[in-house]
Chain A
Amino acid sequence: MHFVVTIENTGETFRCGEEDNVLQAMEQLQRRGIPVGCRNGGCGVCKVQVSEGSYTKRKMSRAVISADEEASGCVLACKIYPQSDLRVEVVGKMARAIVAKKSMSFDFGFATATAINQPDEEK
């Protein structure tokens, strides 16, 4: 079964099978929008807020997603599997870079990088 995932920040859409995580589907189809990091639920850069749709999920690092966030649909794109069409908003620590540039260009200097890098608990 395949569903359509829409990234609200950019309007990008792509298909994702129920056995595939959202980040993996995006990468396989050469789509962009959600930052790709470890792909394994540890680093938090692929954090999204699901505004519409249902999904199943696998274990995510509590260092980057609190229990409250997880319960309210703020999850890691690399750890969710769609059960319906999904609308997601990128909210991870690199979200500002996406909105500003619409593409992931990363020849920023160190100062910019550290600004983007504030962990959520320090925001």
Chain B
Amino acid sequence: MALTGVLRPGHVALRVLEMGPALKHYKDVLGLIETARDDKGRVFLKAWDEHDHHSVVLRETDEAGMDYMGWKVASVATLKKLATDIEQSGLCTDLGWVPAGEHPTTGERFRFTIPTGHVMELFAEKGIVGNNCGTDGENINPNPWPDGLQGISPSRFDHCLLYGDDLDGTVKLFTEVLGFGLAEQVMAGEDKSFMIGAFLSCSNKAHDVAFIRQPVKGKFHHASFELGSWEKVLHAGDVLSRNHTSIDIGPTRHGITRGETIYFFDPSGNRNEVFSGGYIYYPDRPTITWWDVELGPAIFYHDRKLNEAFLSVFT
């Protein structure tokens, strides 16, 4: 196995103001599939092509935002090793273990708060429910996609963009301790030495998580879901409009990662993205650098400037 260590974003846990409208959005409009509810009222969902039990967790409470993001690692041994490495790095706070079963079908999770204030988790085990494509049994002679998809129906939860203050500490953690590569960076200052944006990959994707430096702790900009083509991004725009979903911007293209995108908001104001495209990242691919003066086209390549919401609207 060439891909080891941290495999992928495993889940994102979001706070919603009202579960009813949230479920209408995430199930009927976005098209995620509900896989469980627990006795705390949390709802667990997955995208159609994810085999693991859940990738999105919704919790009703009195504020919007992200509770935590979870990462699937290659094995239980990797989980133990990375937990030790994180502890020894001294970069994180509030370290601890969440017992197995706290998320349905999920093994124990190592939880920690990173320098930008976000709560992250690593886990090795989660129940496999499959993608419902097999015709002669799960994963046997599969169709390319399953019947009964709803709404936009992205294939997977793909990445988050997060806002926080200590970008240097968080980038150090992800690159030096967790083994991520820096695919792209946004640099500011006279000599372009001050990092204000970091796009990090643990895989072959252009990014698995991104951070932008802002004078806040633990803020959530968006959770993104993958679509197979630009045409599906346009179709997603149609689905959003016919459902009167609050659209932030798009369809358009990002300069960073080259993805084609729409940003929109869930009924609690948490931003979602659906996107397609990008490139294949390998660990030896040179890091792409954007200068702060080119932040406009870096974020929205066609408009060549930020919209009013990009830097100021987050939860």
Chain A residues packing against B (C-beta within 8 Å): 35-43, 45, 59-64, 93-94, 104, 106-107, 109-110, 113-114, 116-119, 122
Complex Cα–Cα for A77 and B53 (A): 38
Which of chain B's residues have a CB closer than 8 A to the CB of A41? 17, 64, 268-269
- Are A38 and B271 in contact (CB-based, < 8 A)? yes
- Are B64 and A61 in contact (CB-based, < 8 A)? yes
Complex Cα–Cα for A94 and B306 (A): 15
Chain B residues packing against A (C-beta within 8 Å): 17-18, 62-65, 188, 196, 213-216, 246, 248, 265-271, 292-293, 295-296, 305-309, 311-315
Chain B's nearest CB lies how many Å from the CB of A94?
6
Does more than half of chain A's interface fall in helix, strand or loop, or is it mixed?
loop
- Are A39 and B312 in contact (CB-based, < 8 A)? no
Partner of A59 from B17, B248, B312, B314 at Cβ < 8 Å: B17
- Are A93 and B312 in contact (CB-based, < 8 A)? yes
Greatest chain B CB density within 10 A among A45, A61, A118 is at A61
Partner of A117 from B214, B267, B293 at Cβ < 8 Å: B214
If A38-B315, A59-B18 touch, whether A117 touches B216 (CB-CB below 8 Å) is yes
Give me the 5 closest cross-chain CB pairs, A-B, nearest first.
A42-B269, A38-B269, A42-B64, A37-B313, A63-B63
For B16, the closest partner residue in chain A by CB is A42
A-B contact pairs, 20 of them (CB 8 A): A35-B308, A37-B312, A38-B248, A38-B269, A40-B267, A41-B64, A41-B268, A42-B65, A43-B269, A43-B315, A59-B17, A61-B268, A63-B315, A106-B308, A107-B306, A110-B196, A113-B312, A114-B214, A114-B311, A117-B215
